[in-house]
Copies of this chain bind each other. A is one copy, B any other.
Amino acid sequence: RRSLSSPLQHHVITVIKPVFGSCSVLFDNVSSLSGVSSATPTEEMNGAGNLMDFLDEPFPDVGTYEDFHTIDWLREKSRDTDRHRKITSKSKESIWELIKSLLDAWSGWVVMLLIGLLSGTLAGVIDLAVDWMTDLKEGVCLSAFWYSHEQCCWTSNETTFDDRDKCPQWQKWAELMTGHAEGAGAYVLNYFLYILWALLFSFLAVSLVRVFAPYACGSGIPEIKTILSGFIIRGYLGKWTLLIKTVTLVLAVSSGLSLGKEGPLVHVACCCGNLFCSLFSKYSKNEGKRREVLSAAAAAGVSVAFGAPIGGVLFSLEEVSYYFPLKTLWRSFFAALVAAFTLRSINPFGNSRLVLFYVEYHTPWYMAELVPFILLGVFGGLWGTLFIRANIAWCRRRKTTQLGKYPVLEVIAITGITAVLAYPNPYTRRSTSELISELFNDCGALESSQLCDYINNPNMSRPVDDIPDRPAGPGVYNALWQLALALVFKIVITIFTFGMKIPSGLFIPSMMAYHHHDWIIFKNWCRPGADCVTPGLYAMVGAAACLGGVTRMTVSLVVIMFELTGGLEYIVPLMAAAVTSKWVADAFGKEGIYESHIQLNGYPYLDVRDEFTHRTLATDVMRPRRNDPPLAVLTQDTTTVEDVETLIKDTDYNGFPVVVSRESERLIGFVQRRDLTLAIKNARQKQDGVVSSSVVYFTEDAPQLPASNPQPLKLRRILNLSPFTVTDHTPMETVVDIFRKLGLRQCLVTRSGRLLGIITKKDVLRHMAQMMNQDPESIMFN
């Protein structure tokens, strides 16, 4: 029996690298199975009473995964079913258990309610704070310093309707400090203080992130996608991240950097989701169930970011989530609605609407306009491709060169440049959402915007709503120039901003970048026509096209856009632009910005959308390779404790297949490294007679040994008796499909009943990278 130990030591080859596997067993599962079929009476009679006790106690860390490991979805699901079964059978015992089981059944909805309430509240607070701090860069409200410019003048009685933005209570810094509101000196002072504030905000933001929560940087969506696909990044959705991200998000947006709060809000909502998961063991102890909650939380995040509950659900479904059962659909919708409703109650925009940029016009559009809409789609697609390429190139440079070592300096520099360049142009100085709101709107009679400065010819005595017919005044041309400059500036600066070590969202900047475009072309083109085109509509369609090009969303994008603006009529133009934009962008590269960042960071993400079309077979991918030493296996009844310990010491795989004998190579199960270690350690401490030369049995009954032999160690209970197998002739496309749909971590390969090798998720990802001529070594978390 001992003769096997040395071949084992030498023939062992690395099969499952710890980067991917995790270290726990199908423990509940196995114990439930053994309850049905494997716990034969002989087992208890066999002197293994201690073993029973030891195995009935749960292991300290059972059911948890190590950091940066991948979860096994099938196992998580199986564990949840077991838990559910236990609760259901208990619930018949007493009223108290019945109540507990009802509470358990409702806990999902309770978590959703809490997520909705907290993320709605946080979004409201963030909105208010951003408003106030953005205005703080320019001036302060004398009547109450915590009022933003708009609130300040709103509460003032002296404001006239014509000039809502001007009131004596609101003073710019120069006016407050020197008493002079006008003049070059005041302008320079204001300019200087604006930059100073911006630098202060961004410095605070980047320092907080670096010191307290390094995971709070960036948009968070690539990481959330990876986490939802089954990867563990501990602390990424923790309490500290939540707190710091909320604070720094306000600082970063207020600093005037070209970033939006939308992506980070999704991250914030997911942190809320994670937080509330810890209240219920149903979710905190099951990584699969936890991910269902996180999917719903992502929907709530988008819901509050745009006031678009349905769009949020679709965003979660289309863009973020990996497994999205129907149950999650309903719960996401509920969470999204509660969040949107909470935000509406807080009412940060002061218009008691769910809608962020409500558009008032309902002008119909004409079939012929589809041509410019599709052109906008093409432009959006091109811009998306350009943006992704440039941004990824910049981020790669940041990662690989000296640049990455000075993140604080980088943020300060970009903030400085942004502030210096943004202040002189009124369209870049104000906050991005204000700007979008103005661009989306049609000119009305009371509009004070420069863009609506049409020449008012009193002789024509036309009614108010015919404004677009009037010839454009000088203000319009002026505004168009400024907008064009703003467009170029925003495009360039956003490329450098996204990916910095500071909370940053992409939506609003992306939406920004395009309106202008159409204004320039179409405004001039249609001035003679009667009520020819609605410029706001073009801004909307342009925004959709560019966002579509960058993120490759379609349905969710269109729904978000029309929920955002309330324009149900414009669904066809929006759709035309979004689909064109996706097609054009896909022609240049399949990946959206989030997938590109996932790849850049080397997260182990098995994309559902990538189609695997190569002709390889399981045998080409499995380990061991042709010239490798044979597979490290355990035998069911000939390995000793010492052999196992040597195997564990000499290898770093996360688990070992168990076979009947090394000659027959018939597979009977799979045992996890962690359980093996724990089981042997426990047995050596608690079970008398287990020594190094004890034989480890994975069979149902250990044979009656002569008394001179050492006490055997029976480990069938930690054995997973239903490991997943495929034959060596299975095409890789099927294997990839199985890994995706069932969320496996590893899969054993057999040929005519003989164990040949093993394929792990990492092997699959490596193989896919190889097939696409990428460096397979880039696919791991680093």
Contacts of A721 in B (CB 8 A): 727, 729-730
Q: Judge whether A266 is part of the interface by a CB distance below 8 angstroms.
A: no
Contact B617 A36 (CB under 8 A): yes
Q: Judge whether A217 is part of the interface by a CB distance below 8 angstroms.
A: no
Contact A32 B733 (CB under 8 A): no
Q: Do A731 and B341 form a contact, CB below 8 Å, given A333-B555, A579-B330, A668-B752?
A: no
Q: Judge whether A619 is part of the interface by a CB distance below 8 angstroms.
A: yes
Q: Judge whether A571 is part of the interface by a CB distance below 8 angstroms.
A: yes
Nearest chain B residue, comparing its CB with the CB of A668: B752
Q: Judge whether A504 is part of the interface by a CB distance below 8 angstroms.
A: no
Contacts of A738 in B (CB 8 A): 742
Q: Do A37 and B341 form a contact, CB below 8 Å, given A74-B737, A575-B334?
A: no
Contact with B along A542-585 (1 / 0, CB 8 A): 00000000000011001100010010110110010001001000
Q: Judge whether A725 is part of the interface by a CB distance below 8 angstroms.
A: yes
Contacts of A88 in B (CB 8 A): 613
Nearest chain B residue, comparing its CB with the CB of A751: B668
Q: Do A729 and B37 form a contact, CB below 8 Å, given A571-B337, A613-B84, A615-B32?
A: yes
Majority secondary structure of chain A interface residues (helix, strand, loop or mixed): helix
Contacts of A727 in B (CB 8 A): 669, 721-723, 725
Contact A666 B81 (CB under 8 A): no
Give chain A interface residues in 69-84, CB to chain B under 8 Å.
Answer: 74, 77-78, 81, 84
The answer, among B318, B617, B666, for a CB contact under 8 Å with A752, is B666
The answer for the CA separation of A730 and B733 in the assembled complex, in Å, is: 24
Give chain A interface residues in 306-327, CB to chain B under 8 Å.
Answer: 309-310, 313, 317-318, 325-327
Q: In angstroms, how far is the closest chain B Cβ from the Cβ of A360?
A: 12
- Copies of this chain, tallied across the complex: 2
Contact B571 A37 (CB under 8 A): no
Q: Judge whether A741 is part of the interface by a CB distance below 8 angstroms.
A: yes
Contact A731 B725 (CB under 8 A): no
Give chain A interface residues in 51-84, CB to chain B under 8 Å.
Answer: 74, 77-78, 81, 84
Contacts of A35 in B (CB 8 A): 615
Q: Judge whether A85 is part of the interface by a CB distance below 8 angstroms.
A: yes
Contacts of A753 in B (CB 8 A): 660, 664-667, 750, 753-755
Q: Judge whether A33 is part of the interface by a CB distance below 8 angstroms.
A: yes
Q: Judge whether A611 is part of the interface by a CB distance below 8 angstroms.
A: yes
Q: In angstroms, how far is the closest chain B Cβ from the Cβ of A118?
A: 18
The answer, among B32, B37, B726, for a CB contact under 8 Å with A722, is B726
Q: Judge whether A478 is part of the interface by a CB distance below 8 angstroms.
A: no
Q: Judge whether A329 is part of the interface by a CB distance below 8 angstroms.
A: yes
Among A38, A563, A666, residue most surrounded by chain B Cβ atoms (within 10 Å): A666
Contact B613 A554 (CB under 8 A): no
5 A-B pairs closest in CB distance = A753-B753, A666-B753, A721-B729, A722-B730, A666-B752
Interface residues of A (CB under 8 A from B): 29, 32-33, 35-38, 74, 77-78, 81, 84-85, 88, 309-310, 313, 317-318, 325-327, 329-330, 333-334, 337, 341, 352, 354-355, 364, 554-555, 558-559, 563, 566, 568-569, 571-572, 575, 579, 582, 608-609, 611-619, 660, 664-669, 721-723, 725-727, 729-731, 733-734, 737-738, 741-742, 750-755
Listed by A's residue number, 5 A-B pairs whose Cβ atoms lie within 8 Å are A85-B614, A310-B310, A318-B326, A666-B752, A725-B725
